[in-house]
Structure 1
């Protein structure tokens, strides 16, 4: 369930990236800027085929003032009578004064309008009369016979006979921002025309002039048209309504889904393929489990951080706390709480002998905090100097556990696995390109890349780029078996606390490293019927019982983790402040490089050289 909720955030972001064109839309109206160019004559010749194709020739005689480059011709690609139909024009030629004219095709109004920008943007047309000829064709212009039957028109002519199809069209588009003195329109149909109806303007409007039907041809005219005044014709034609491409969504979704059901199905298929490909590709980086037979003790000689690292290939989040608990449990350091935000860590041994069999990771932490030698101590409190040492201890711990794993032949590099991260990063970039339609026609094209990105995102986890050797896998099996004992229900993995009560405290550091301290305490309580005890080596003055680090129930270890976090936070804040100030005289150890391990460490017989 937790994993499901973690997936909700990226899924929600992807949904926003794909669907934003539906939510954020520019005005779906054509530009209504006044155009001073006046059409003295506008001839429209339309021919409709039996297959529903419109071939149009528009001849415009225009009177130009000075300082104009040309005209803008708008086509609305959506069909107001059927939201699933798209009627995108294909421009075949545009002439200006008998010569081919330069033009550019653009989208406006949330891609509801295809616009031909006619004219040379670097050259003005001369004052006076200019003639434009625009040729184009549009598929699917014949509608079912009942389309528009409920509308009232200002003028009609012809027989009111039942027709099989109807041509319902703005023969003068409302998108013209020009005054039109006279328009003459002729429409040739693929069959006998029944009744022809016409209106000028919106609603019922006013009657068209000279409306007439002759066989399969309709003629009409209109005069003195104000800018953005449509002329609408509805004419029945006795031919079967031809099939036309339709989609089950309105034009508002075109920027997401395009204008083809087939295109959507292709993208969905690619999305599934990309997701499966990502899963299979990522799985090539995942090591098969060696099996985890139940173990009642950690692998010999390993500290809690090493045990977790060989199990997960990741340095545990609470590794520093677990290591200090481990040193305290072994009697090497004394832990005492001074106050809510301060602890004292002090060496308990009078010579170096007991440190000889301590794992290298624990030695690295003790060395960084300068608690290895006789009489050494460290104050974990909210100061910059204490935070700096703790930060260095974490860095050295990380370096030491990795060095141990590779130097001891437990793990090897597998750099070819890192290519899955490269593929994941490329998928992320292409997903963003898809969201913003950079190089992609619609936002749905982001989905295949989003699927690959999501299902290969785990490649950024620790462990990709390395593999355990045979000896490493054997150690992994034992560490996993021990983890199973710590975390599974007591009914499944019975642990005799009565006979081995001392091992409860001994295994607390390993449980803290594994993030399973609360489960370990609950297991103790379930088995014995008593609350898990606070270890003798943990001298806390707190009377609270809020639980282990990362859990609840049993003794309170939160105060110690809080002190460490507060101290490291003070150091981190000082570094950030120094960086923002533009200079700093101190150097950060966060990179894991060398540097002094702590005052007096040169006397240690166990020198630490961070990798």
Structure 2
């Protein structure tokens, strides 16, 4: 499509135009753009004199009268007369005429545009100059005299090879952009009359369509057909077209009606065109490989999934043995809760006290005693150091960056220790890795196919489909990659125990007591002793945090504390223990412990996360182009 250009001598081009133009033109445009940018930078702060914008005018009408014939060589010959009525400011010396940019290239086929005359409405000659710019023939009308009000320009020219052979519809098509999408000015009316040579009447398929609007618009307009003196005549029009809006017509012919023009290609483009059969085969292969990659990604994910465990979850009322709170967090993929739960665990186990810091929004941890449990002692050392004294305090708030880093390292160590204990193992990434690397290869192959298709102007859609398929398969492979360790059969038993503990935490109180009164629970917990129940519920508070039910569990604990008539020794608030005050302190504790999430997130990672038949659009054809004021 050769329809995007704007002027003050600097055309804007569409994607199709960019493909059809020689590389040298693109480099020249880049150099001009850089030069303009440099001048703009140098002139910052310097006031420029005010000038009228030569594009600040409108068009009353644009009418193209066209005649299509078949030459002696069977190539298409098109005679065009454009009558353009521009309306300039009446009282301002702004314009000397217009610039009409006529595309001289149609998908790589030279149109051999020849301007025969430029006149006014009375047939009197209008001065004009011709120049070429990157595939366009520019007609600059007028001289040094300013023009005012309504001005008519009648531009006559000829072109050849304006027909395309459409493989999808097995037909030849005359696709023509009438005014083009490269104008910054509105048009009151755009119309066209296309007259066929009588010998072409029998070659018409009967398919004809009209499109209106901006480039790629599929809005259709009416096209009229009539027979006059043996010639078939097509008429179409549109009113009130805005800037960059265009009228396009498409007429269908039987295949082989015209001899197509030859595409001009450089060495690289010719190589790409000659490689078309290979490109098409490679595109299909890339699509098939994308399916293989997707299957590989799914298989790789299944091979790295966690051990299934027993399959039956039984509510558990006590934490699993020989697994720390931090280890439990990683085992159930809740690593973000590892540090906050571990700090609460230190408190409920009697090693620190939680103190409400009324002077700020932070929480103070007070050192009470060391721990015989190695995992808890490691966290205590991270908090208070090796030689902590009883009563030592550590404030946890958003400024505790270094502390957050130390606690994060303890969390990473807990994750790694699960592997050492045989509870987790590194997943088998061989199939998943193959899927990712193969997906990258498919995307590269598809990109090469698209690039060669564009350079060769083959119009092959398979490369685009291959890119989409390859990207989808690669995305699937990356998203299904197993970033954390795989839970082993042994680890699955512990994980199931933790899931059973979660189910216990979610039980109603009467159901929870029923579990405690079971043979296993009755041996260890006297439900008639409120103090024992309080201690049990305190012990489970860190695990409620792991599962995200700390609010509900704190409320349960509050009820039990009130029934027992005691206060937790690990908690020192401004009043007696309440779930609301604890949750406020816990929120500050979690915020402070996560002060530098990036510092302690660890290396474990997270989730990585055919025109004449009605299928065309405005701007699809030859001609058109655009222009502006002079």
TM-score normalised by structure 1 residue count:
0.48
Q: What's the TM-score once normalised by structure 2's chain length?
A: 0.47
